[in-house]
Amino acid sequence: MADIKREIERKYEAPDADGDGGGLPDLTGVAGVATVADQGVAHLDATYYDTADERLAAHGITLRRRTGGSDAGWHLKLPVAPGEREEIHAPLSDTLPDELAALVRSRTRAAELLPVVRLRSARALRDLLDARGRLLAEVGLDSVHAERLSGGVGEASWTEIEVELADGGDPAFLDKVDKRLRKAGVRPSAAASKLARALAETAPERTRGPAPAGDPVNAGDHVLAYLREQRAAVVDLDPAVRRDAEDSVHSMRVATRRLRSTLKSFRSVLDRSVTDPIGDELKWLAGVLGQDRDREVLTARLTAALDDVPPDLVHGPVAERLHKWSGAEHGTARGRLLGVLDSHRYLTLLDTLDTLITDPPLRRAAAHQPDKALAEAVRKDFRKVSALIARALDADPGTGRDVALHEARKKTKRTRYAAEAAVPALGKPAKSLVKSMKALQNRLGEHQDAVMAREALRELAAVAHAAGEDTFTYGLLHEREQRRAADVEAALPAFWDGVKDATTAL
């Protein structure tokens, strides 16, 4: 089973040293440091793996098998922020553990992982301790020798200082160490990692990836920039979804929906004969991501509602039945989702999205000025929202109105995402529309959640009744949810009057 920790560190250039730590500046003067404890010299031997075209390195991801030191094993490091990575550690073995291979699959897909670089280091380690003997940070003077194994030839050697914050430490402490090191003439490393430096120094002729996209100019540029951002979100979130990290499934689902909505909204820019099949696949993926998420949201809502019921009005094992209902599908849905993330269909979708962005099916309008082409697409979406709101308000309360409001909510999301894509080109008017659509989406979402909660409560009540239990509390909660939906409906006309002219400035 893999262990996960947050790694916060900084790297610095250092003069060549004999490997015994003699090149380290004196750090006893750092505020808060009472003792600098010599931990000796460790000899580390690490082989780094990547695809032939170095997809992991291109995104700041490192995957290695290392022997020596106190944490020998397989290490996968995923970037979180500058100087901060999430490190996932698996026990030492001859072959790459399946769980780590899965966490990079959204990057590697069908490509083989190969050994690309071997790094051998002599690490002179010092522990920075406070007055109570607690570890503040580890400082290592690393004498590194890099050997290229594939994708190039050559060797390189250098010495660097690495300062890693202790688990749970205050990142501000690294600023204090940084100040002391700079005062001693030490400068930050230009390379983000040892691997990045090794790749650069051992393969001067390495194939370059595609040039970074420039600033958006025309309508097509702006649409592609937004699509690129959402595609990156899906790929980046894949490892977190596999690990069941908090809010990861929801975030990935939102990125998937944004992609699909953008393809629909900007059909004047992108050829729908190419994008419609992609939209169908994105709809499938969003559906899979939503299977467990929808029940999770409903459970949280019903649990909070039950907590608000006075104890004397809770009849029967309502909380226990709700908990059982919540967990009934979680394991099945979780297994189904992991299967999808490893499926040929999903990995093909990721490849298709890459192709869409690198070789987009642009139409003539893509070359138009964004202020006109994008604004018209956003206005078109907004008109659909307006028509659906009018239809819902004209309908009698009940299923017909519920369905119309749900459709209006979906179109509201689409309009919001279209406006988000247009913000860099249209500025304040698009931002204002995003804000209005988000507020409308929240209100309509509250209504839809109440509709779905009533449906779940009817299901729970039926099961409880069949078991001979008192169903009074389910009825009470059902009535409260019905009142919540009615409150949204009653307030909607006045609210809509305040936002329905939101596109006038576009």
Predicted pLDDT of residue 292: 73
List Cβ neighbours of 18 (8 Å cut-off, separation of 6 or more).
none
Query: What distance in Å separates the CA atoms of residue 298 and residue 55, rounded to the nearest whole number?
Result: 39
- Please say whether the beta carbons of 36 and 128 come within 8 A: yes
Helix (H) / strand (E) containing 326: helix 318-328
Single-letter code of the amino acid located at 386: S
3-class DSSP state of 51: coil
3-class DSSP state of 91: coil
Query: What distance in Å separates the CA atoms of residue 367 and residue 390, rounded to the nearest whole number?
Result: 35
Predicted pLDDT of residue 206: 47
Query: What distance in Å separates the CA atoms of residue 302 and residue 319, rounded to the nearest whole number?
Result: 9
- Please say whether the beta carbons of 437 and 416 come within 8 A: yes
Could you please report the per-residue DSSP string of 202-219? Answer: H-TTPPP-PPPP----SH
Q: Output the pTM of the full model.
A: 0.88
Q: Is 41 exposed, middle or buried (0-12, 13-18, 19+ CB in 10 A)?
A: middle
pLDDT in tens, 200-235: 998 755 454 455 667 888 999 999 999 999 999 999
DSSP single-letter state for residue 88: E
Predicted pLDDT of residue 213: 64
Phi, psi (deg, nearest 5) at residue 168? 80, 5
The list of the chain residues with pLDDT below 50 reads 206, 208-209
Single-letter code of the amino acid located at 325: W
Number of residues assigned to the chain: 506
Could you please report the per-residue DSSP string of 264-298? Answer: HHTTTTB-HHHHHHHHHHHHHHHHHHHHHHHHHHH
- Please say whether the beta carbons of 269 and 360 come within 8 A: no
DSSP single-letter state for residue 72: -
Predicted pLDDT of residue 208: 46
- Please say whether the beta carbons of 71 and 62 come within 8 A: no
For residue 204, what are the CA distances in angstroms to 118, 192, 274? 17, 17, 39
For residue 48, what are the CA distances in angstroms to 70, 114, 141, 458? 18, 8, 20, 55
Instruction: Retrieve residue 503's tokens.
Output: 């596109």
Query: What distance in Å separates the CA atoms of residue 331 and residue 124, rounded to the nearest whole number?
Result: 47
Residue with tokens 């082409």: 373
- The full set of domains in the chain, from first to last, is 3-202 (2.40.320.10), 219-499 (1.40.20.10)
User: Hey, what long-range contacts does 338-345 have (CB within 8 A, 24 or more apart)?
Assistant: 338/242, 340/285, 340/288, 341/102, 341/105, 341/106, 341/238, 341/241, 341/242, 342/102, 342/105, 345/281, 345/284
DSSP single-letter state for residue 467: T
- Please say whether the beta carbons of 98 and 106 come within 8 A: no
**Beta-sheet pairing, 73-81 with 62-67:** antiparallel
